[in-house]
Amino acid sequence: MDIRERIAKRVAKDFEDGDIVNLGIGMPTLVANYIPEGIEVILQSENGFVRMGPVPEEGKEDPDVVNAGGLPVTVLEGAAYFDSATSFGIIRGGHVDATVLGALQVDQEGNLANWMIPGKLVPGMGGAMDLVVGAKKVILAMEHTAKGKPKILKSCSLPLTAKKEVDMIVTEMGVFEITPGGMYLREIAPDTTVEKIQEVTEAEFIVDENLKVMED
């Protein structure tokens, strides 16, 4: 299984029926394809609506209905549109149950860096800073390393998106939870070992006594 698919599938299992979820651009968007049957997840699009649906069929795009990346989407029955201040009131106000984002770096304290690389890449934070601070649960969906280099660090070196807000990290190698008592490895992928994870993880983590296998 493609690693992006594995990650997206695992993240999707974390939702509860009725959750309001905001998915970031890129791999997090794939999560929508793997929501388990019988679970209804309400997707929020920060540019101003809830109950976002799938990409429209070719020729049926509506330029007024786009996602936060400006790409055509659809809305499902029961959708609602609103302005940007309301949208971010929903986000900061704790009405979003979970947000799924990518990361350039994350550390064992739950600090996240995903919006700029000084001197190289300065796209801007968009809505990420508000989402990470406001959502009840912050889930990172990310590849474990960047070209073999650890992304899960002791301490982020890039400018932060938010401080101590990350709750969970899902990579192709496993699932981590960040708690006030430290970072825990809760699940491990079937094709790796704890030693292999340690080799590519700079952060210190505790292996859960009841370590589970991350199902594909």
Partner 1 sequence: MSKVVSLEEALKFVKDGTTVMIPGFMGAGTPETLVDGLVEKNVKDLFLICTDTARPNVGIGKLIVNGQIKKLYASHIGTNPETGRMMNEGLIDVTLIPQGTLAERIRAGGAGLGGFLTPTGVGTVVEEGKQKMAFDGKEYLLEMPLRAEVALIRGTKVDKKGNVWYNAATRNFNTHMATAADIVIVEARELVEVGEIDPNNVMTPGIFVDYIVKGE
Query: Per the residue annotation, which of 46, 109, 172, 177 is the catalytic one?
Result: 46
Backbone angles phi, psi at 91, to 5 degrees: -70, -55
Q: Select from 53, 102, 150, 159 the one that contacts partner 1 (CB under 8 A).
A: 159
Helix (H) or strand (E) holding 87: helix 84-92
Residue 81 binds to partner 1 (criterion: CB under 8 A)? yes
Q: Select from 76, 117, 122, 146 the one that contacts partner 1 (CB under 8 A).
A: 122
Minimal distance, residue 84 CB to partner 1, in Å: 4
Residue number, 77 or 195, with CB nearest to partner 1: 77
46 is catalytic: yes
Q: Burial, 3: exposed, middle or buried (Cβ in 10 Å; 0-12, 13-18, 19+)?
A: middle
Strand positions, DSSP E, the chain: 20-23, 42-45, 49-53, 74-81, 98-101, 105-107, 112-113, 137-141, 145-146, 149-150, 152-153, 168-170, 174-179, 182-188, 206-213
Q: Binding to partner 1 (CB under 8 A): which residues in 30-59?
A: 45-49
Backbone angles phi, psi at 155, to 5 degrees: -155, 130
Q: Select from 18, 36, 69, 182 the one that contacts partner 1 (CB under 8 A).
A: 69
Residue number, 138 or 185, with CB nearest to partner 1: 138
Q: Select from 38, 59, 63, 181 the one that contacts partner 1 (CB under 8 A).
A: 63
Residue 154 binds to partner 1 (criterion: CB under 8 A)? no
CB of 166 within 8 A of CB of 100?
no
Residues at the contact surface with partner 1, assessed by CB under 8 A:
45-49, 62-66, 68-70, 75, 81-85, 87-88, 91-92, 111, 121-130, 133-134, 159-164
